[in-house]
Amino acid sequence: MLTARGFEKMYFKGSVVFRSILEFFAGFKVKQYLFIFTFKAPIPISLHFPIFAKNLKMQLEFSEQEQIRRNSLTELGALGINPYPAESFPVNVTARDILADFDSNSHAFQDVTIAGRIMTRRIMGAASFVDLQDSTGRIQLYIKRDDICESDDKTLYNIAFKRLMDIGDIIGVSGYVFVTQMGEISIHVKSLKLLSKSLRVLPIVKEKDEQVFDAFSDPEVRYRQRYVDLIVNPEVREVFVKRTRLVNTMRNFLSSKGYLEVETPILQPLYGGAAARPFTTHHNSLDMTLYMRIANELYLKRLIVGGYDGVFEFSKDFRNEGMDRFHNPEFTQMELYVAYKDYEWMMDAVEEMVERIAVDLHGTTKVQVGNNEIDFKRPWKRFTMFEAVQHFTGVDISEMTEVQLRDTCKKFNITTDESMGKGKLIDELFGETAEPNLIQPTFITDYPVEMSPLAKKHRSKPGLVERFEAICNGKELCNAFSELNDPIDQRARFEEQLELGKRGDDESMVLDEDFLRSLEYGMPPTAGLGIGIDRLTMIMTNQQSIQDVLFFPQMRPEKASAVVGATDEEFVALGIPAEWVPVLRKAGIKMPEDLKVANPNKLLHELSGLRKKLKLEIPSLRLEEVSAWCGK
């Protein structure tokens, strides 16, 4: 019998494996001598030490470059360099500041401290150049061995920097700014500190003569690994900066008008305010079904009833519907409700607000979107919905019955089903024949009452409501009403929606008794607006997909790599030590049948090479052993 301490002295003096075992034991807070190892026969190490086998398997799953970086991590620790220090690093400048303001004739920027990520390295003996990227851009560093290693010990440069640091590592440096002989503004580094070691290899995007090579451009990988996308594609960061500026402009515009920014519930006992399917959840304590909001309209109107003249909210809404380049199940919209106003006033307000956003972001009202130059300068064009359909089809649908509308849809090859009422049919006709052709900002007004259960009936056009949508680049930008404040009419509209639900329309609205009760107390004439932040950002930043303006868009589950090959037990049954099974797989041996066609000499050479390369603490092999595995 051997104690753990004695076993360490005999077999694993100073090895990483045994240190891991001792650390595991230390977690139990009992003395080492209580852990007794008994060896009656040569047994594979992995059977005694599952921790070792697990670590070995993980080690073999890394790519060659990932394993090299992990080895570097260990060596940095051995040099006394903490690759993840806890203390703050006092940055006093950014790359953008230096590049914008440095004047070689001035004495500015002679004591700068900056931090960022290594993006390129050019090592030339005792001096090197590094491209450092911070949140504002890139700047070149000049690193000289004798400057960062003032004593005779040159380990920081010769070993730590040259051998153990990699592209992607985050460093902090101090020094002074100068201009190189090639005319490039750079930082002459006087001190260097590793702030975070990168264990994965960044995609390297190369540029030459304004052409980009090896771009990190696969959309699915970019959306799943947005953190990498933001590192290697700086223009993506700018999209999200503009998104925040857009929201701030909108918030400042509304606040300057005296409107109150509020918050309303995301979890709701009834969903309403839009025609959409909700996500459903369950509250355990109350034992009740709740819905993630599809809109915040009905709660904001309650606040208007309560006496506020104007309220708005930037809200996360959720709709359990399909995904495409214009729709994400989770999205952001701003809703605004202002008392004593109507939809005509709201059109003017939208024009003013969106024009200001364009100017704040671009310095002009003109914005390039794909191949189209869109001008947000007021006033915008206005069509009624029926006028728009007639303008692009030549067909007047204003007096058509449901049957006639269905026949007209068929004429234009528009698919319909029996659950669609008159309003849905008109919406389909408009969406297919008119909406895609509206490129410049255009208000579409005066919708059929069947399409708009929350809007007030038109003051002069029977069968219509006072509603508008702003269409731009062929897609809806916002939706607004003169809000319905007649509680009796509102109840009747809700009941009509219930009938549509019975016909199979799963996007019909539900009847909200509490909202009706609030209307019965009296809501002043009100204008309401909902504007999609994601859609507006797409237009203002010239992005073709909603996923490009969401940091983390919803994605289908990532497919796990299929496990192909025999189990560990099948290999062990052939007399192969368990600790060598992961190494065999690394060498391409997936099935016992693969061994039968393998050359024992070549396989021994490859396995021995992997053992050395990966620094595996396992017994070496003999040709006779490998030949036996191969049945030779």
Domain endpoint, select from 130, 165, 200:
200
Count of structural domains within the chain: 3
Residue 60 pLDDT class (50, 70, 90 cuts) = low
Residue 45 pLDDT class (50, 70, 90 cuts) = very low
Co-location of 355 and 479 in the same domain: yes
Residue 470 vs residues 392, 397, 467, 478, 529: alpha-carbon distances, Å: 17, 21, 10, 5, 11
Average pLDDT for 200-222: 77
Co-location of 107 and 30 in the same domain: no
Measure the CA–CA gap between 234 and 420, rounded to whole angstroms: 46
Co-location of 369 and 475 in the same domain: yes
Pick the more confident residue, 143 or 46: 143
Co-location of 347 and 448 in the same domain: yes
Residue 428 phi, psi (nearest 5): -65, -45
Share of the chain above pLDDT 70, in %: 87
Co-location of 357 and 462 in the same domain: yes
Whether 5 shows a pLDDT value over 50: the answer reads: no
440-454 burial: b if 16+ Cβ within 10 Å, else e: ebbbbbbbbbbbbbb
Residue 174 is predicted with a pLDDT of 98
In a domain? residue 179: yes
Average pLDDT for 121-127: 94
Whether 47 shows a pLDDT value over 90: the answer reads: no
Residues 556-573 have pLDDT tens digits of 887 655 445 788 888 898
Average pLDDT for 443-462: 91
Domain endpoint, select from 542, 563, 596:
542
Share of the chain above pLDDT 90, in %: 67
Residue 621 phi, psi (nearest 5): -105, 160
Residue 1 pLDDT class (50, 70, 90 cuts) = very low
| CATH code assigned at 150 | 2.40.50.140
In a domain? residue 613: no
Residue 229 is predicted with a pLDDT of 95
Co-location of 460 and 343 in the same domain: yes
In 495-605, beta strands by DSSP E: 526-532
Co-location of 460 and 322 in the same domain: yes
Average pLDDT for 383-388: 95
In a domain? residue 137: yes
Residue 35 pLDDT class (50, 70, 90 cuts) = very low
Co-location of 335 and 461 in the same domain: yes
Co-location of 178 and 302 in the same domain: no
Co-location of 31 and 99 in the same domain: no
Whether 222 shows a pLDDT value over 60: the answer reads: yes
Residues 491-529 have pLDDT tens digits of 998 888 888 777 777 667 788 999 999 999 999 999 999
Here the tokens at position 423 are 């309003």
Measure the CA–CA gap between 39 and 99, rounded to whole angstroms: 67
Pick the more confident residue, 59 or 152: 152
Structural domain that includes position 22: 1-40
Q: What is the CA radius of gyration of the chain?
A: 34
In a domain? residue 25: yes
In a domain? residue 425: no
Residue 613 is predicted with a pLDDT of 77
Co-location of 374 and 468 in the same domain: yes
> How far apart are the two ends of the chain, measured CA to CA in Å?
38
Residue 43 phi, psi (nearest 5): -125, 140
In a domain? residue 286: yes
DSSP letter at 548 equals G
Measure the CA–CA gap between 217 and 350, rounded to whole angstroms: 35
Residue 55 pLDDT class (50, 70, 90 cuts) = low
Least confident interval from 453-467, 473-487, 582-596 = 582-596
Domain endpoint, select from 181, 200, 219:
200
Residue 2 pLDDT class (50, 70, 90 cuts) = very low
Dihedral over Cα of 263, 267, 273, 274: its sign? positive
Residues 251-266 have pLDDT tens digits of 999 999 999 999 999 9
Residue 207 phi, psi (nearest 5): -130, 135
To the nearest whole number, what is the mean pLDDT of the chain? 87
Residue 384 is predicted with a pLDDT of 95
Residue 475 pLDDT class (50, 70, 90 cuts) = very high
Residue 176 is predicted with a pLDDT of 97
Closest CA to 59 of 8, 13, 17, 21: 17
Average pLDDT for 455-478: 94
| CATH code assigned at 313 | 3.30.930.10
Residue 143 phi, psi (nearest 5): -115, 120
Residue 215 is predicted with a pLDDT of 74
Residue 114 is predicted with a pLDDT of 98
Q: Which pTM was predicted?
A: 0.77
Co-location of 113 and 23 in the same domain: no
Whether 31 shows a pLDDT value over 60: the answer reads: no
Whether 232 shows a pLDDT value over 80: the answer reads: yes
Pick the more confident residue, 436 or 454: 436
Measure the CA–CA gap between 274 and 294, rounded to whole angstroms: 7
DSSP letter at 209 equals T
Residues 274-308 have pLDDT tens digits of 888 999 999 999 999 999 999 999 999 999 999 99
Residue 414 pLDDT class (50, 70, 90 cuts) = very high
- Asked if residue 600 lies in contact with residue 627, where contact means CB atoms within 8 angstroms, the answer is yes
Measure the CA–CA gap between 484 and 466, rounded to whole angstroms: 9
Pick the more confident residue, 369 or 272: 369
Whether 50 shows a pLDDT value over 70: the answer reads: no
Q: Beta partners for 468?
A: 445, 480
